[in-house]
Amino acid sequence: MSRKLAAEFFGTFWLVFGGCGSAVLAAAFPQLGIAFAGVALAFGLTVLTMAYAVGGISGGHFNPAISLGLAIANRFQWSELIPYWVAQVLGGVAAAAVLFVIASGAPNFTPGGFASNGYGELSPGHYGLVSCLVAEIVLTAGFLVVILGSTSKAAPPGFAPIAIGLALTLIHLVSIPVTNTSVNPARSTAVALFAQTGALSQLWLFWLAPLIGGALGAVIWKTLLAPGESPGMIGQEP
């Protein structure tokens, strides 16, 4: 169990450090040409690389909403859910802390939003609460369907991390303007702790919506797409 938790800690660390780091460090310089597309790709690459690196140890969740969805889909043991959540949040917070230390070394640094999520005034496009809630639920549900489908025994073996990484890239391309993209409560919690905005006061949405979406995606898969489907790579039963 300790190896699984260590893998989830490091995988979530990499996701937050790489994904949010691209937004905080690289996207701050328009001349680099990274912008939204580069940040979206960075998040996808973090999941793709860590799914290959440690997915065989822990299942490669790196996200409390994914762990919940996999448990509902009978791909993950309920008894391990809370320990996974703790490891994921701690890994994300550790990454945000390291990122803050690096970013604060720049002249005239101010944390600002620090890649945090938000609605209303904290949304990049100033989208309202309902828009952000719906976007996070739908996109997390779709993410779960991709994960469950690409790791099913009917899917070509060995390609799941690629599909999952590309799905996360797509999710960010759609929703960065809306919520700055969460679909992951651990990622949202980590950077909100360092932001100099009202991100912490809005953090509830970025736990509630992804968890609902994760549960919804699992139910869609179980009831409509693959009833009784066998475990695949991510979240496979021991």
Summarize pLDDT for 61-113 with one digit per residue, the tens: 999 999 999 999 999 999 999 999 999 999 999 999 999 999 999 888 889 89
Domains of the chain, first to last: 2-105+114-225 (1.20.1080.10)
Residue 32: band (very low, low, confident or very high) from pLDDT cuts 50, 70, 90:
low
Q: What angle do CA 95, 101, 107 make, to 5 degrees?
A: 140
Q: 112 with 195: CB under 8 angstroms?
A: yes
User: CA 237 to CA 70: how far, in whole Å?
Assistant: 10
pLDDT tens readout for residues 146-199: 999 999 888 888 899 999 999 999 999 999 999 999 999 999 999 999 999 999
Q: For 117-142, what is the mean pLDDT?
A: 97
In 124-140, which positions are buried (b, 16+ CB within 10 angstroms) versus exposed (e)? beebeeebbbebbbbbb
Q: How many helices (H) and strands (E) does the chain have?
A: 9, 0
pLDDT for 237 beyond 80: no
Q: Are 207 and 67 in contact (CB under 8 A)?
A: no
Please give the mean pLDDT across all residues of the chain.
92
What are the angstrom distances between the C-alpha of 85 and each of 39, 182, 185?
Answer: 24, 16, 9
**Dist. CA 115–CA 216, nearest whole Å:** 26
